[in-house]
Amino acid sequence: KPNHNNHVIIDDSGFFTTFTTPPKKVAVLFSSYAQVWQDAGGTISITVPDSIDRSLVKKEDVTVVGNGDGRAINVERLLKLKPDLVILTNDYPEHVELAEILRDNEIKTLLFQIDSFLDYLSMLKSFTTILNTQDRYQTYGTEVLNTVEQIIEETSNVKNPPKVLFLLASLQGIKVMSTNHFVGDMLNDMKAINTVSDSSILSDKLSPEILSTLNVDQIYISIMEDSV
């Protein structure tokens, strides 16, 4: 007899994972996904230092198994903890390799890659489905989408769209970015004109010379680490 409580989730690596009950011991090893899992109604038992540094979880409530951003994970320790679910990012090759190890050890593992708002909605939908908290998708998904669509509608007929510069700041430096980024796509949706289109500029770190050649109205900065 089929179990109608089964939920099959397809992650961004194309892997199918079946859930019959919400997982209780969960490892979120990419801090940007920690907030989404908690917004969906989940709790985090295992994570990386970034999640603590960003005040997404309390140090005393979790077990840490990796370095700052979670690229280097103590695999042996993670396996000994026997999590019910591990959430990783497809952006890190190290996480893709880790997913194979975990699945070989019969640990449920999901890989996600968030490059757009629709990607975020898809991940949130997966989480609320796993946790049986569909009401939270309404709050953190549908209602946010309605707000986004309203903003896009309000900016669709702007006569003089602003010229903008989008910067990505990390411990490695500051880089000028085009629309090939979550925030860049959002600015594009709001009809802002990204002044950067030259690929040679995109590959360079920010310099006074670059700034002097760009006539911009607004500058947007996305910070990758809280310690920047």
27 phi, psi to nearest 5 deg: -110, 120
pLDDT (mean) for 212-221? 80
pLDDT per position as a tens digit, 150-209? 988 888 888 888 888 888 776 667 777 766 667 777 888 888 888 775 444 444 555 666
Mapped onto helix, strand or coil, the DSSP state of residue 30 is coil
pLDDT at 11: 96
Torsion of CA 67, 104, 122, 166, to 10 degrees: 30
pLDDT at 215: 78
- Whether 1 shows a pLDDT value over 50: the answer reads no
- Whether 18 shows a pLDDT value over 90: the answer reads yes
pLDDT at 104: 97
**CB-based contacts of 228: which residues, under 8 Å, 6+ apart?**
169, 170, 171
pLDDT at 151: 85
CA distance 129 to 135: 10
Name the more confident of 226 and 46. 46
Name the more confident of 219 and 122. 122
pLDDT at 205: 55
- Please, is 26 exposed, middle or buried when counting C-beta atoms within 10 Å of its C-beta (0-12, 13-18, 19+)? buried
User: Which residue in this structure is represented by tokens 């890190």?
Assistant: 92
pLDDT at 206: 59
pLDDT per position as a tens digit, 70-85? 999 999 999 999 999 9
Specify the amino acid at residue 161.
P
pLDDT at 197: 56
* Domains, the chain, with CATH or none: 7-143 (3.40.50.1980), 163-223 (no CATH)
Name the more confident of 148 and 209. 148
pTM attached to this predicted model: 0.81
CA distance 63 to 69: 15
For residue 20, what pLDDT band results from cuts at 50, 70 and 90?
Answer: very high
- Whether 119 shows a pLDDT value over 90: the answer reads yes
Sign of torsion over alpha carbons 101, 103, 107, 112: positive
**Angle, alpha carbons 126-146-119 (nearest 5°):** 35
Q: Are 204 and 213 in contact (CB under 8 A)?
A: no
pLDDT per position as a tens digit, 64-118? 998 888 999 999 999 999 999 999 999 999 999 999 999 999 999 999 999 888 9
Name the more confident of 128 and 215. 128
Nearest to 86 by CA among 145, 26, 134, 16: 26
pLDDT at 200: 42
**CB-based contacts of 150: which residues, under 8 Å, 6+ apart?**
none
